[in-house]
Structure 1
Amino acid sequence: MPSFFVRALKLNRFQPNRIVTSHLVSPMTLAIVRGIEFLYTFVTSIIVWATTKAAVDYFQYFTHLSYFGLMAYLFASTVWSTLYLRRPESERAKWLRSGSPWWGYTHWLFYSTVVTYAVVIPIVFWSYLAWDRASWTRMEYFRNISVHALNGVFGAVVELILNRHFLLPVHSLFVAAVMILYMLMTFLVFAGQGTWVYPFLDWSQGPIAAAYYFIVAAGLFVIYFILYFLHKYRNKWLAKRSIKVNGDLDKEYEGRDQDDEKEMEEGEGSENAV
């Protein structure tokens, strides 16, 4: 079963050095940036939880779940980078390949959700849910800007500029599956409390509710594939710069996955031939 999962999601194409390296900055600088972002999200999470009117309902909101996911991703990335940097440079590549590959597989899939939701959430919130912002208090401004705007800056903009990850089309199914699980949870919340977490999920609105569900689903895939191409061409355009920054560590994988789409198409061709 695990091997089937690896093949189905093409996780064997994971490259561990992409977690701790950047096209533009040194591994140390990348670790520092992520560490600062983690501290901000950690402190913000505590403040938001403590000031939420119904703190027990904190994790009912997809925004809070995804923000917690962003915080966990930044923490894991910072820890990974710290352990990597503590080793002698000659041993770093070997260390990256040691241990269970599932840590890396999970991190890669986790990143695909983080970067996608970091774009989806600000769009949905500021276009549909932030209609009453004229009445917000200072704390509400801080909370909403932190979890509905800076999450996009940290999880999408900064990561897209600095990291070396690449996305795969098949991972869009994993991102969608997580969203579907959340949608199912909102039905359980409604069954238990009689209220919908978000107003656009309310089926009593009639056909418009189905349209909202469709728009969210379609938008999720559109955003994912925009990010897929942005990652692909960014890696292509900055390939030479990456070699200068990362040296031999980057050359170890040079040519193995320079053109992600080409390799994917070749793999599919061989499977069809069989």
Structure 2
Amino acid sequence: MLPRVLAFGTDPWDPTNRFFTSWLIPPYALAALRALFSLYAFTTLIFNLGYLCAHPDLGGCATSRTEFSYFTVLTYWGLAFYLAVAAVHTFSYARYGAPLLARWPRPLKALHALYYSSVTSYPFIVTIVYWGILYPYGGAWFPDVYDGWSNISQHALNSFFALFEILVPRTQPQPWIHVLWLIVILAFYLALAYLTRATKGFYVYSFLDPTKEGPLVAAYVFGIAVAAILIFGIVKFVIWARRYVTEEKMGRRGKFAFRRTAEELEMVGPGAFAGK
């Protein structure tokens, strides 16, 4: 038998479908909102690629290809895909009483939980770093409508989508082990940033340039890692507080498919009502 950590645990995974239900809105509404947010995010990303490619004055398609080197863009793609996947699972739960994820192997379920931790942590890092470090402080807003819309979509609405996932679904506080993996992913991105410098000749973010920032580069990198830990801890607390207030104080245990209760699901498991 594999050790518990390698087997991703043996207890029932999400027995009351917390990832796909809400204390506030019914499953179909949750699925619809997730699908709508995902559609908006994908539209933003694809439009940005096309807009840059169609404007030689902005660098054309060469600039469009560099989009995939930016942490902002990569995390926005991640958020868009998570919302799409979560919408499908939520819809399948609303329609059949069990999400598609219930049929997947245990490691994929664990990765879904880690995915959730990433999309509820990284967007806040992007928002804080952009508006706190990268945004040009000149007293003027962006020069055209496109720049303003694009930056608000990727550096402000990203955190709104993350906040929605924190406050509206019935998710549990995620385990602290996820912090380790979030830092590992950040380390891989740092490697990608310097790989981009070596292959494309530019720094995706100016604060990573040691010729300009010197030893401050290490401070920025370390600071972002610390921020990731702090944000994860804050998110974990907010989720705990949301659950305590809505479930313990307000008595809102959740809105389920087929009018099942949380207590019934805990007794029989998440797939018991599939097809009924």
> What TM-score does the superposition give when structure 1 sets the normalisation length?
0.82
Q: Higher relative CO (CA 8 A, sep ≥ 6), structure 1 or 2?
A: 2
Structure 1 position 69 matched with structure 2 position 63: no
Aligned to 1:263: none
Write the distance in 2 (CA, Å) between the matches of 1:223 and 1:142: 26
Write the distance in 2 (CA, Å) between the matches of 1:70 and 1:112: 11
Cα 1:143/1:170, change in 2 over 3 Å: same
Write the distance in 1 (CA, Å) between the matches of 2:143 and 2:33: 30
Cα 1:13/1:84, change in 2 over 3 Å: closer
Write the distance in 1 (CA, Å) between the matches of 2:232 and 2:123: 11
Cα 1:161/1:71, change in 2 over 3 Å: same
Aligned to 1:199: 206
Write the distance in 2 (CA, Å) between the matches of 1:96 and 1:57: 34
Write the distance in 2 (CA, Å) between the matches of 1:102 and 1:2: 14
SS across alignment from 1:251: helix
The 5-angstrom pairing of residues 68-217 of structure 1 reads 68-87=77-96, 92-93=97-98, 97-131=102-136, 134-155=141-162, 157-166=163-172, 167-204=174-211, 205-217=213-225
Q: Which moved more, 1:197-206 or 1:12-21?
A: 12-21
Structure 1 position 15 matched with structure 2 position 14: yes
Residue-by-residue CA offset, 1:28-79 (whole Å, 9 max, x unaligned): 1111111111111111111112223401111100000000000000100111
SS across alignment from 1:23: coil
Identity %: 30
Write the distance in 2 (CA, Å) between the matches of 1:42 and 1:191: 29
More helix by share: 1
Write the distance in 2 (CA, Å) between the matches of 1:127 and 1:11: 43
> What TM-score does the superposition give when structure 2 sets the normalisation length?
0.81
Cα 1:238/1:99, change in 2 over 3 Å: same
SS across alignment from 2:255: helix
8 Å contact kept, 1:37–1:74: yes
Write the distance in 1 (CA, Å) between the matches of 2:68 and 2:4: 32
Cα 1:25/1:194, change in 2 over 3 Å: same
AA paired with 2:110?
Y
Unaligned runs of 5+ in 2: 53-58, 268-276
Write the distance in 2 (CA, Å) between the matches of 1:94 and 1:64: 29
Write the distance in 2 (CA, Å) between the matches of 1:219 and 1:82: 34
